[in-house]
């Protein structure tokens, strides 16, 4: 019988007004990928944050490798061989890849970081696990997929035998998802055990060995991924039969509302990101922009919303030129932008929901009178 490396028994966690985990039992075996499946808010991440020491359970017990364990902090978890890659990465953008990975266990030269030694160690880990990275690259200059590799390498460098991946495919391209799947398979082949938090049914079937479904803080059941299907898992997730086929009606596009003509722009490294982009968007249609990350999609969105300057070309909105306008002017023309990184670029995390919602309109009626914000209207 395969060795059980983790057993969580009777885990209960209550927040004000919310029972996040209700007497949850969870088991992880050596060398398996175990998916933790559920809707947003089901309690998946809360359970794993308890395992990683970010939250303390109100009740329940954790056993690691057959022995009772107490995890009061992430430091405790790391010391017990647990690593976690969060949905929103915990990296320092201004640091290099190597500096981020060795942080906390830095090789020293006298009292300073031994940069050459750190880079060498990271390169060795990179090659050992097939996770190619540039140790000397600044994190702020690498792709989201590459940042995820850095997070995984960081956990492995600190001795993780159990790896928690929280919604790891949420920000990845299809090719990056394929690469991640291969990485996960190679890690479990080396004896690592992986908890894979997700709400995506197709990923569970294709990636996981076993799957545990959580709904409203309760474990609904555990299945072998090879012995279940999307319909059964969907019903377990929501408590009723779910129609998984989308009935899409044919579009009836109207007039051209956005016309982009021969658009050029640079990226943050002053290299060409957009090279002669031309496209049209019509009223009543959805236009998809496809491509591997780092090929200009972000720059295109930023140009269209006034966050990045164009070097040449035209952007016409309902026939009027908007290229070069400020973000505020473009917002006033009813153009909105949901960025790929909502935490860093879309929200002010220290502000309330109300403040964030009115952020782009706070200076206009009905939310303002002169220079005064009318909070009762907000």
Q: Which residues 6+ apart lie within 8 Å of 2 measured at CB?
A: 29, 30, 31, 32
Specify the CATH number of the domain 4-238: 3.40.50.300
Q: What is the pTM of this model?
A: 0.73
Tokens representing 264? Answer: 């050029």
CA 144 – CA 128 distance, rounded (Å) = 22
What stretch(es) of the chain map to CATH 3.40.50.300? 4-238, 255-339
Q: What pLDDT was estimated at residue 4? A: 95
Region of 313 (left: φ > 0; alpha: ψ -120 to 50; beta: rest) is left
pLDDT along the chain (378 residues), means of 10: 90 94 97 94 95 96 95 95 91 92 82 84 87 90 87 92 91 82 92 93 91 96 94 91 77 94 91 94 92 81 94 96 93 89 81 87 85 82
**Domain at 255-339, CATH from 3.40.50.300, 3.30.70.2190, 3.40.50.1370, 1.10.10.60:** 3.40.50.300
Q: What pLDDT was estimated at residue 235? A: 92
Q: What pLDDT was estimated at residue 6? A: 97
């Amino acid at each position: 019988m395969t060795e059980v490396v983790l057993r969580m028994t009777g885990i209960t966690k209550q927040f004000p007004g919310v029972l996040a985990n209700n007497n949850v039992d969870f088991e992880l075996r050596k060398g398996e990928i175990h998916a933790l499946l559920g809707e947003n808010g089901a309690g998946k991440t809360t359970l794993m944050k308890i395992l990683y020491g970010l939250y303390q359970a109100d009740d329940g017990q954790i056993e690691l490798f057959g022995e009772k364990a107490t995890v009061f902090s992430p430091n405790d978890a790391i010391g017990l061989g647990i690593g976690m890659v969060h949905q929103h990465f915990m990296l320092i953008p201004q640091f290099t890849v190597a500096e981020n990975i060795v942080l906390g266990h830095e090789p020293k030269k006298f009292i300073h970081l031994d940069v050459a030694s750190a880079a060498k160690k990271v390169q060795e880990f990179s090659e050992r696990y097939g996770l190619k990275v540039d140790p000397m690259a600044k994190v702020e200059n690498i792709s989201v997929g590459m940042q995820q590799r850095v997070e995984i390498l960081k956990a492995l460098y600190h001795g993780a035998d159990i790896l928690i991946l929280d919604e790891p495919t949420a920000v990845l391209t299809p090719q990056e998802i394929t690469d991640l799947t291969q990485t996960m398979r190679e890690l479990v082949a080396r004896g690592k055990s992986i908890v894979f938090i997700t709400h995506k049914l197709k990923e569970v079937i294709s990636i996981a060995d076993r799957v545990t479904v959580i709904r409203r803080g309760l474990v609904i059941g555990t299945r072998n991924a090879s012995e279940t299907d999307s319909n059964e898992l969907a019903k377990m997730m929501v408590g009723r039969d779910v129609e998984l086929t989308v009935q899409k009606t044919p579009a009836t596009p109207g007039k051209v509302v956005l016309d982009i003509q021969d658009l050029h722009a640079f990226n943050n490294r002053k290299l060409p990101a957009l090279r002669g982009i031309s496209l049209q968007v019509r009223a009543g249609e959805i236009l998809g922009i496809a491509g591997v990350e780092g090929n200009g999609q972000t720059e295109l969105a930023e140009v269209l919303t006034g966050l990045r300057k164009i070097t040449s070309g035209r952007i016409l909105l309902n026939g009027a030129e908007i290229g070069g306008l400020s973000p505020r002017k473009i917002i006033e023309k009813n153009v909105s932008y949901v960025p790929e990184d909502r935490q860093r670029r879309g929200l002010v995390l220290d502000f309330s929901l109300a403040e964030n919602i009115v952020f782009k309109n706070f200076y206009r009626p009905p939310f303002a009178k002169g220079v005064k914000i009318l909070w009762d209207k907000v």
